[in-house]
Chain A
Amino acid sequence: MVTVLNRAEQKTVKRKQKITKQIKPILQTQNLSISYGENKAVQDVSLPFSKNSITALIGPSGCGKSTFLRTINRMNDIIPSASYEGEIIYEDVNILDKNIDVIALRKEIGMVFQKPNPFAKSIYNNIAHALRFYNIKKKTVLAELVEESLTNAALWDEVKDRLHESAYQLSGGQQQRLCIARTLAMKPNVLLLDEPSSALDPVSNAKIEELIMKLKEKYTIIIVTHNMQQAARISDQTAFFLNGKLIEYDKTDKIFLNPANKETEAYISGRFG
Chain B
Amino acid sequence: MESVASTAKDRLIKSTKRKNHGESSGKVIVTLAALIIIAATLSMTIFLSIKGMQAFIINGVNPIEFLTSTEWNPTGENPEFGAFPFIFGSLAVTLMAALIAGPLGIGGAIFMTEIAPSWGRKILQPIIELLVGIPSVVYGFIALTIIVPFIRDYSSGTGYSLLAGIIVLAVMILPTITTISTDAIAAIPNHLRDGSYALGATRWQTIWKVLLPSVMPSLWTAIILGMARAFGEALAVQMVIGNVRDLPGSIFDPSATLTSIITLNMGHTTYGSIENNTLWSMGLILLLISLLFILIIRFLSARRKI
Residue numbers of A with Cβ under 8 A of B are 73, 75, 78, 80, 103-107, 110-113, 115, 117-121, 129-130, 132-134, 166, 168, 179, 182-183, 186
Contacts and interface: CB of A to CB of B under 8 A. Distances in A.
A192 to B, nearest CB: 8
A140 B195 CA distance: 25
A119 B196 contact: yes
A90 to B, nearest CB: 15
Nearest to B215: A120
A157 to B, nearest CB: 24
Given A119-B214, A120-B213, A120-B306, A106 B198 contact: yes
Given A78-B193, A113-B191, A121 B198 contact: no
Interface in B253-306: 305-306
Count class of interface residues, chain B: 20 to 34
Given A119-B210, A120-B214, A133 B200 contact: yes
Nearest to B205: A133
A119 B205 CA distance: 13
Most buried by A among B195, B199, B201: B199
Contacts of A80: 118
B57 to A, nearest CB: 49
B261 to A, nearest CB: 43
Contacts of B202: 103, 133
A117 B197 CA distance: 12
* Chain B, interface SS category: helix
Nearest to A188: B200
B199 A183 contact: yes
6 contacts: A103-B201, A117-B189, A119-B210, A120-B213, A182-B195, A186-B199
A173 to B, nearest CB: 16
Contacts of B199: 106-107, 110, 130, 133, 182-183, 186
A113 B198 contact: yes
Nearest to A73: B198
A106 B200 contact: yes
Interface centre among A103, A119, A121, A129 (most CB of B within 10 A): A119
A272 to B, nearest CB: 29
A73 B196 CA distance: 13
Nearest to A105: B200
A129 B194 contact: no
Contacts of B201: 103, 130, 133
B192 A117 contact: yes
Contact of B213 (A112, A115, A121): A121
Nearest to A182: B199
Contacts of B118: 80
A130 B200 CA distance: 8
A121 B198 CA distance: 17
Contact of A113 (B194, B200, B306): B194
Most A-side CB within 10 Å, residue of B118, B189, B200, B205: B200
B197 A106 contact: yes
Interface string B59-84: 00000000000000000000000000
A75 B198 contact: yes
A110 B198 contact: yes
B209 to A, nearest CB: 6
Contact of A117 (B194, B200, B209, B305): B194
A111 B198 CA distance: 6
Most chain B Cβ neighbours within 10 Å, of A115, A117, A179: A117
Contact of A115 (B191, B196, B306): B191
A107 B191 contact: no
Nearest to B217: A120
Nearest to B195: A117
B220 to A, nearest CB: 14
A179 B205 CA distance: 18
Contacts of B197: 75, 78, 106
A175 B113 CA distance: 27
Contacts of B193: 78
A75 B200 CA distance: 10
B200 A179 contact: no
Contacts of A118: 195
A110 B199 CA distance: 6
Interface in B172-207: 189, 191-202, 205
B306 A117 contact: no
Contacts of A111: 194, 198
A103 B198 CA distance: 9
B198 A120 contact: no
B191 A117 contact: yes
A115 B195 CA distance: 10
A104 B202 CA distance: 10
A104 B197 CA distance: 11
A182 B210 CA distance: 14
A179 B209 contact: no
A113 B213 CA distance: 21
